[in-house]
A and B are shown apart, each in its own frame.
Chain A
Amino acid sequence: MNLKRTLENIENQFEMFQILNEEGEIVNEDFMPDLSDEDLKEIMRRMVYTRILDQRSIALNRQGRLGFYAPTAGQEASQLGSQFALEKEDFILPGYRDVPQLIWHGLPLYQAFLFSRGHHKGNQMPEGVNAVSPQIIIGAQITQTAGVGLGYKKRGENAVAITYTGDGGASQGDFYEGINFAGAFGAQAIFVVQNNRFAISVPVEKQSAAQTIAQKAVAAGIEGIQVDGMDVLAVYAATKDARERAVNGEGPTLIETLTYRYGPHTMAGDDPTRYRTEDEDNEWEKKDPIVRFRKFLEAKGLWSEEEENELIEKTKEEIKAAVKEADNTPKQTVTDLIGIMHEELPSNLKEQMEEYKEKESK
């Protein structure tokens, strides 16, 4: 009847998994993933590209040239390390902050900008890109992931469903239902919780009495792991492993990544100084995923400042071109909206279609 000890035993088992420490040194050789030098460089390129994209997106938003935007700086290892472990046929169900994963899974950048601007074309995944547009309702994607993962299992696909939410999202009923359903049905699914310590202003300590989010896997009877979310190799290795087990019929996995968002929650007026200290910001910036990975690559002679600068310039050009392409997309109309409501227009919308066609032709 020592209930306290039972709980402590469970909690103590969820220790943070790390491969690369803050100095860029391998501390967990046994789990070093089998990645070629070219793969390692590609991971770095993606992280740098995404950091620049974040900076430019913030600037564009301030100029009124982008709409809704949730900054990503700080979370690159969590977002891109997990995405890099996927195959093209895997299905992503992202949250609103997870646009980078979509881009690396095949969503053209100009469409990501259209999503931000509120245009339905931003939500249309190109043929062959297995993903849905970012979910705004926190948690809704999690139960859907159990469904995609079960669908894949039923069809005998060699693929997984992966979803992303935050520390706040792990409080939603949908989160518990999603991991529980996935466990009950053996869905081929991976649930990533990016624990960046805050849900807008609310610190993770106020979300739950549980010491870790990873331990919530226990109640669902699935495997769970807490990962250093600033260590791209650890996130990659954990996701790769989860993917393998999922497609081998060994069940779903919950991955908690410990990370931080450097910027505001979104660009719509959030002021982090109201709820975080500068000390905390500084402490986390020391753990930066790009700094740490750069050190690692430089030590291996795989990366140089020139290479990075070249990449930054190229990235900026690509962003510029994508903004232009978004600008050139015909503006959203109400008849577009009516047209995408149903396969066959019901009578009320037929009438309204005519009404708006006339208005728009003026």
Chain B
Amino acid sequence: MAQMTMIQAITDAMRTELKNDENVLVFGEDVGQNGGVFRATEGLQKEFGEDRVFDTPLAESGIGGMSIGLALTGFRPVPEIQFFGFVYEVMDAISGQMARYRYRSGGTRPMPITVRSPFGGGVHTPELHADSLEGLMAQQPGLRVVIPSNPYDAKGLLISSIRNNDPVIFLEHMKLYRSFREEVPEEEYTVDLDKAAVKREGTDVTLVAYGAMVHSSLKAAEELEKDGISAEVIDLRTVSPVDYETILESVKKTNRAVVVQEAQKQAGIAANVVSEIQEKAILHLEAPVLRVAAPDTVYAFTQAEEVWLPNHNTIVEKVNDVMNF
């Protein structure tokens, strides 16, 4: 076992799969010689050569389209979109093309592509770097969307994603890249896709979160405990499709739920989660299911970022609302 940050765990996952499968290719802007702007691909070009790990010209649409072509010739591409705000440049390749290829070809053309990309607020990036755009991806049938919240899951989920024969959008919250280390096995292991994790058990209210908001929810749960409120925290890990089984099991026990996302209220995936809970468990509910989300503006100008983003305080407020309903 080794202590790793999330970014080291991500590098380790790519290294593992580059070793395991000669069809795995890692590429994108600055991922070669420079090892990525966050060093996610640090050392990989040196270890596996420029044939396997390489820089591309600066064009996201090209990166996406070329990934599809490589998949059509039997490769297993792991392209990086340098920041997920640039996904608009590659929307057609992702949503219009790779998501639909298997279907369009009558089930004959798999797209084993894992698009990795950093996103997430609180690190003072310029415009269109920090946006939470997972909702856009989740709206596209045919895509799987994975968002790890810790180093252990990041490695296991990324290996599972790369091995998966359908396209996966693998989103890495920038704030979590180096915020903490934890034990991560050096050997290979997988974490199941499409499975949520109960991060903390509780009996009074269920908090459903993903990405950095898992940590804000855990912090909120600690504060709530001081007031005698026992919160269960669920980390979705895969945000499309959502593991409703785990959520419903929890809600049937706690009878209350708050869904937390960093994305704007009108975006993200919280609305889906709320709908499913009320469709499947309304008779178990003691209060409406509430959402914690950012306001419905374009992502905040940096100076207002900290106030704009949801945090453990806004989560505590909403939990109090459902407790006092």
A residues within 8 Å of B by Cβ?
A: 67-68, 96, 117-120, 136-139, 168-169, 171-173, 199-202, 206-208, 268-270, 274-275, 331-334, 336-338, 341, 348-349, 352, 355-356, 359
Count of residues in B whose CB is under 8 Å from the partner chain: 37
Find the B residue at minimum CB distance from A340.
B297
Q: Does the CB pair A337–B301 fall under 8 Å?
A: yes
Residues of chain A contacted by B32 (CB below 8 angstroms): 202
Find the A residue at minimum CB distance from B57.
A171
A137-B128, A202-B30 as given contacts; A171 in contact with B302, CB under 8 Å: no
B residues within 8 Å of A by Cβ?
A: 29-30, 32-35, 37, 55, 57-59, 61-62, 85-86, 88-89, 124-129, 265-266, 295-298, 300-305, 307-308
Q: Does the CB pair B308–A137 fall under 8 Å?
A: no
Task: Indicate which residue in A119, A275, A352 contacts B34 across the interface (CB closer than 8 Å).
Answer: A275
CB<8 Å pairs between A and B, sample of 20: A68-B124, A68-B126, A118-B305, A119-B301, A173-B62, A201-B55, A202-B29, A202-B32, A206-B55, A206-B57, A332-B300, A332-B301, A333-B307, A334-B307, A336-B304, A337-B297, A337-B298, A337-B304, A349-B295, A356-B295
Find the A residue at minimum CB distance from B295.
A352
Q: Nearest chain B CB to A108's CB is how many angstroms away?
A: 18
Q: Nearest chain A CB to B188's CB is how many angstroms away?
A: 29
Residues of chain B contacted by A336 (CB below 8 angstroms): 304
Q: Does the CB pair A119–B128 fall under 8 Å?
A: no
Residues of chain B contacted by A119 (CB below 8 angstroms): 301-303
Q: Does the CB pair B58–A117 fall under 8 Å?
A: no
Q: Nearest chain A CB to B311's CB is how many angstroms away?
A: 12
Bound-complex Cα distance A352 to B29 (A): 38
Bound-complex Cα distance A67 to B58 (A): 24
Q: Nearest chain B CB to A37's CB is how many angstroms away?
A: 40
Q: Does the CB pair B127–A136 fall under 8 Å?
A: yes
Q: Does the CB pair A338–B295 fall under 8 Å?
A: yes
A136-B128, A200-B30, A334-B308 as given contacts; A349 in contact with B297, CB under 8 Å: yes
Q: Nearest chain A CB to B30's CB is how many angstroms away?
A: 5
Residues of chain A contacted by B34 (CB below 8 angstroms): 200-202, 274-275
Task: Indicate which residue in A67, A118, A274, A355 contacts B33 across the interface (CB closer than 8 Å).
Answer: A274
Residues of chain A contacted by B304 (CB below 8 angstroms): 118, 331-334, 336-337
Q: Does the CB pair B301–A207 fall under 8 Å?
A: no
Q: Does the CB pair A171–B296 fall under 8 Å?
A: no
Bound-complex Cα distance A359 to B313 (A): 12
Per DSSP, are chain A's interface residues mostly helix, strand or loop, or mixed?
loop
Bound-complex Cα distance A268 to B82 (A): 14
Q: Does the CB pair A348–B57 fall under 8 Å?
A: no
Per DSSP, are chain B's interface residues mostly helix, strand or loop, or mixed?
loop
Bound-complex Cα distance A352 to B57 (A): 42
Find the B residue at minimum CB distance from A346.
B296
Q: Does the CB pair A331–B126 fall under 8 Å?
A: no
By Cβ-Cβ distance, the 6 closest A-B pairs, closest first, are: A118-B302, A201-B34, A332-B303, A168-B58, A171-B57, A332-B304
Residues of chain A contacted by B297 (CB below 8 angstroms): 334, 337-338, 341, 349
Q: Does the CB pair B128–A118 fall under 8 Å?
A: no
Residues of chain B contacted by A118 (CB below 8 angstroms): 124, 126, 301-305
Residues of chain B contacted by A334 (CB below 8 angstroms): 295, 297, 300, 304, 307-308
Q: Does the CB pair A172–B58 fall under 8 Å?
A: yes
Residues of chain B contacted by A199 (CB below 8 angstroms): 29-30, 58
Q: Does the CB pair A201–B30 fall under 8 Å?
A: yes
Residues of chain A contacted by B55 (CB below 8 angstroms): 201-202, 206
Q: Nearest chain B CB to A115's CB is how many angstroms away?
A: 9
Find the B residue at minimum CB distance from A206.
B55
Q: Nearest chain A CB to B293's CB is how many angstroms away?
A: 10
Bound-complex Cα distance A224 to B33 (A): 32
Bound-complex Cα distance A117 to B32 (A): 31
Residues of chain B contacted by A120 (CB below 8 angstroms): 301
Interface centre among A137, A208, A355 (most CB of B within 10 A): A137
Q: Does the CB pair A207–B58 fall under 8 Å?
A: yes
Bound-complex Cα distance A74 to B78 (A): 36
Bound-complex Cα distance A236 to B302 (A): 36
Q: Does the CB pair A341–B59 fall under 8 Å?
A: no
Q: Nearest chain B CB to A215's CB is how many angstroms away?
A: 16
Task: Indicate which residue in B30, B57, B127 contacts A207 across the interface (CB closer than 8 Å).
Answer: B57
A208-B57, A333-B307 as given contacts; A200 in contact with B300, CB under 8 Å: no
A200-B34, A207-B57 as given contacts; A137 in contact with B305, CB under 8 Å: no
Q: Does the CB pair A117–B300 fall under 8 Å?
A: no
Q: Does the CB pair B303–A173 fall under 8 Å?
A: no
Bound-complex Cα distance A356 to B61 (A): 38
Bound-complex Cα distance A287 to B294 (A): 49
Residues of chain A contacted by B126 (CB below 8 angstroms): 68, 96, 118, 136
Find the A residue at minimum CB distance from B305.
A118
